[in-house]
Amino acid sequence: MRKLSVFSIPVLNYSALKLFTIRLFILISFILIPFMSGAQCFKGNTAVGPGEYLSYEVSYQVGPVWTNIALVTLSAVKEMQGTKEALHMKLNAKTYPTYDHLFKVRDSYESWVALQTWQPLKFQRYTLHDENTVLLTQYFYPAQSMFYYNYKLNNEPVDKGQGKIGQCMSDMVASLYYPRTLEIENLRPGTPIPISVLYNNEPTALKLVAQGKGIIETRDGKRYHCSKFVVKMNSTVSMFKENSDMIVWFTADKNKVPVYVEAQLKVGTVKIYLKETKGLLNPLTAWLNKP
């Protein structure tokens, strides 16, 4: 599929485009395998390692028009968080400059988890949507099943609070990575995985269902052997079309990298394509036409 030129932009529904960009990370956080099973706890990690970098191109459709609107990157590094060795995971999302005059998005989300146990340590969110900025920091104490947070919107006073975290629950960024540590590549079609993620200080429950395997071709012509999953949406995630399912494909190998996502919103459709991978922990054997 060819990329639309800037001359195609006026065909877009700007109201729909703004609705999409304002919720860009909300969507991403529910898409790129963004969930943590409430029934399974960490048993070890052979899929995600320090030095990994993934990038994704986000395309949006209103009517017959498709356009590439944003870039999302995920990266992981090893560092110390206090006295603990941690995996520091980052997600950055930004609209392309062409669309900044319509609605500028610069989102940064960071998560620190204990490297050996995957217990959450800290989460930080900084987002810029037009002129509105949000800073949210969460500090986790798994032994006490508690977390504490600081929240600040623009120049308003800082809101401080605390809440409970359930067993095996994680923040939004860590939960993007966590399912890749699970044995999900050989699940029978129809097998459900209950889902729980701490989203903006609130637990959110969904369900991930295995759908078998298939071949996915990305926009640059790369073909991957993938595992298919469907995410059963509910009323909590308000931007999605009612009773719609979100489809997620990720590599059927030891890396379990998300490759392609498709979801129907209340206005328009979104597709997310894997663009680039670097520093994977294992060989990308699911890449079928690798030169």
pLDDT < 70 positions in the chain: 1-40, 62-63, 130, 195, 233-243
Structural domain includes residue 37: yes
Range of the domain at 112: 6-278
CA-wise closest residue to 33 among 62, 54, 59? 54
One-character DSSP codes across 267-279: SSEEEEEEEEEES
Question: Residue 38 has what pLDDT?
Answer: 42
Categorise residue 191: left if φ over 0, alpha if ψ from -120 to 50, beta otherwise.
beta
pLDDT tens by residue, 156-205:
999 999 998 877 787 888 878 887 888 888 889 998 877 677 877 877 77
Question: Residue 11 has what pLDDT?
Answer: 39
Structural domain includes residue 286: no
Question: Residue 238 has what pLDDT?
Answer: 53
Structural domain includes residue 59: yes
Cβ pair 250, 227 in contact under 8 A: yes
The overall pTM is greater than 0.95 = no
Structural domain includes residue 284: no
Question: Residue 48 has what pLDDT?
Answer: 94
* Cβ neighbourhood burial of 107 (10 Å; 0-12, 13-18, 19+): buried
Number of domain units in the chain: 1
Question: Residue 12 has what pLDDT?
Answer: 44
Structural domain includes residue 289: no
State how far Cα 90 lies from the chain centre: 11
Question: Residue 92 has what pLDDT?
Answer: 93
Count other C-beta atoms under 10 Å from residue 189's C-beta. Answer: 10
Question: Residue 218 has what pLDDT?
Answer: 92
Structural domain includes residue 32: yes
- Where do the DSSP E strands lie in 2-52? none
Question: Residue 233 has what pLDDT?
Answer: 63
Structural domain includes residue 27: yes
C-alpha triplet 70, 224, 288: angle, nearest 5°: 135
Structural domain includes residue 283: no
pLDDT tens by residue, 1-18:
322 222 233 334 444 455
Cβ pair 67, 4 in contact under 8 A: yes
Question: Residue 234 has what pLDDT?
Answer: 57
